[in-house]
Chains A and B, each alone.
Chain A
């Protein structure tokens, strides 16, 4: 009995440690998020001014200088929140795709979400086609991106439900769908006017500058909701990472869980892509960093990835705000994230990947 309680104690200690790690990362992300509101390269918009704008708004007033008020309250504040939720959402998407497809290089865009979204946006920029015309320019773009993002996913989900499909063939199908949509986008680009091509290019890179109070809550809500739903499936998804046959023999309805989780992630990613474009690499790197910290049990990996994703993206966005010329955050995540990730891999533990 003595020894048994030793196992219990160690197991609970480790579990507690993993929870604390996630909470610490989340706290740091929240802190940086707040700090990021103060970061800018405008002369005159000092720390004090930013602070006064925030205090004014939080106590129900507005700041006297319209220009500062606009930047701090209407642009930077929602942007700080957006970064946290976009980072978290993409990271959760990455964890789910990696676990469900049992492939470490799967990310939220593996099912062709990005190429579908890009195609939808290209249709708008180049042909003026809006799937659901609302008359609102940015809302039309968002709807086109999100809805077209779901088409490749729907194709993949339908394909993956066929009898002879394995996670590997699902990934391959995703890659194939991606090429089809890319080619379709390229064909449009050939005859499009240069301005539209540039717009599409800018959109593709992914940026947080379009965050506003009226869209940040949608992304935040979707991220929270989808993450909670995914957490409910976490235990079964963890069992599935050891193989479908074993999982079935332990009573997990593998096909159902895979389909549901792919759909949840696709809807989440499509929403995010609609508002911020395709921010690459986040969904890939954040889960792997989290794996190093808490291991691959999804009970801890999902929250830890979400926190890590939030932290990385808000940190990268701070860097972009320091820069005078506006570099999209999508570029920074890759430029900083890539080398960092390689260092992690070189130092990396066999414990984390096989």
Chain B
């Protein structure tokens, strides 16, 4: 499969989020998207699977414009594991994971679907939770269930929004490693938003680093994770050491950013105006 993002812009009513993002990816591959909070990582992913429509530009999957694909057809190609799921009315784990089969649903496919669900739960080590209610689970188990739902969808491209943020270190490593092997076993393009630079650096084939709504750097972990890039994008001083060929970040200190200083000024000006406008 082949994913091409061609010059997309996206803005929420008045706030521009993404600007002129272009990207080309081909699977099987495990790609990680890095970048600080609010930089547009989730927005980018949502533009790929039509949760959001870019204000400008086009997304192509295997050469086909996603605008011309119905969301049901797109759901067969692109899976999505959200950051969190609403559980006002929780279902059982099996029912939750079974939803992932919806784009492929046919009459009388329940037996094979249940087999697949069980296989996937087992792969994630949570088969014992199958009949439990979603609301009785821990945050980490929630994430694994959502992950299972994305996997049973059997997409060609799997998008994940911080799938390991609530997991302990062992499970973080385990899940990330599994995602990577999945990419190659099932011939998928796996794209994961991540906040853990070191885990991304250890497993990702390719890293996309976003800054201010644009792509700041793309490439292998060695190319992208550098002290300079981390300073500019994350605003941190760091030291990078080599760990068996993968870069490993040791964080040193946060740099007071120019932006923050400017914002502080704005607040001052705003206050003054308020005072002047007063009686």
Contact = CB atoms under 8 A, between A and B. Distances in A.
Given A252-B102, A296-B89, A242 B75 contact: no
24 contacts: A4-B114, A4-B115, A8-B114, A8-B115, A10-B131, A14-B131, A102-B86, A235-B105, A242-B85, A245-B46, A246-B149, A249-B51, A249-B78, A249-B159, A250-B100, A251-B70, A253-B71, A253-B72, A291-B89, A295-B95, A296-B90, A352-B90, A354-B88, A354-B89
A70 to B, nearest CB: 46
A3 interface: yes
A351 B118 CA distance: 22
A128 interface: no
Interface string B75-91: 11011101001111111
Interface string A248-261: 11111100000000
A252 B49 CA distance: 12
Interface string A227-249: 00000000110110111011011
Contact of B80 (A246, A252, A291, A297): A246
Nearest to B155: A249
Tell which of A235, A242, A249, A354 has the most Cβ of chain B within 10 Å.
Answer: A249
Contacts of A235: 102, 105
A250 B82 contact: no
Interface in A72-86: none
Q: Counting chain B CB atoms within 10 Å of each CB, which of A164, A245, A352 scores highest?
A: A245
Nearest to B80: A249
B111 interface: yes
A148 B117 CA distance: 48
A7 B94 contact: yes
Given A246-B80, A250-B153, A351-B133, A104 B114 contact: no
A353 B79 contact: no
Contacts of A7: 94, 114, 117-118, 127, 130
Nearest to A296: B89
A99 B89 CA distance: 8
A243 B82 contact: yes
* Chain A interface size, under 10 / 10 to 19 / 20 to 34 / 35 or more: 35 or more
B88 A250 contact: no
Interface residues of B, number: 48
Given A11-B131, A242-B91, 6 more contacts: A99-B89, A103-B88, A243-B85, A245-B51, A246-B146, A251-B103
Contacts of B78: 249
B74 interface: yes
CB-based closest 9 A-B pairs:
A251-B75, A249-B80, A251-B72, A296-B89, A243-B86, A251-B103, A351-B133, A354-B135, A7-B118
B92 A295 contact: yes
Contacts of A8: 111, 114-115
Contacts of A248: 49-51, 71
Contacts of A238: 91, 95, 99
A207 interface: no
A350 interface: yes
A98 interface: yes
A7 B131 CA distance: 9
A241 B135 CA distance: 13
Contacts of B105: 235
B51 A297 contact: no
Contacts of B92: 295, 297
Contact of A251 (B74, B85, B118, B149): B74
Contacts of A3: 118, 127
Nearest to B115: A4
A248 to B, nearest CB: 5
A120 to B, nearest CB: 33
A98 B89 contact: yes
Contacts of A296: 89-91
Contacts of A245: 46, 51, 80, 82
A101 B243 CA distance: 50
A241 B94 CA distance: 15
B136 A351 contact: yes
A235 B113 CA distance: 15
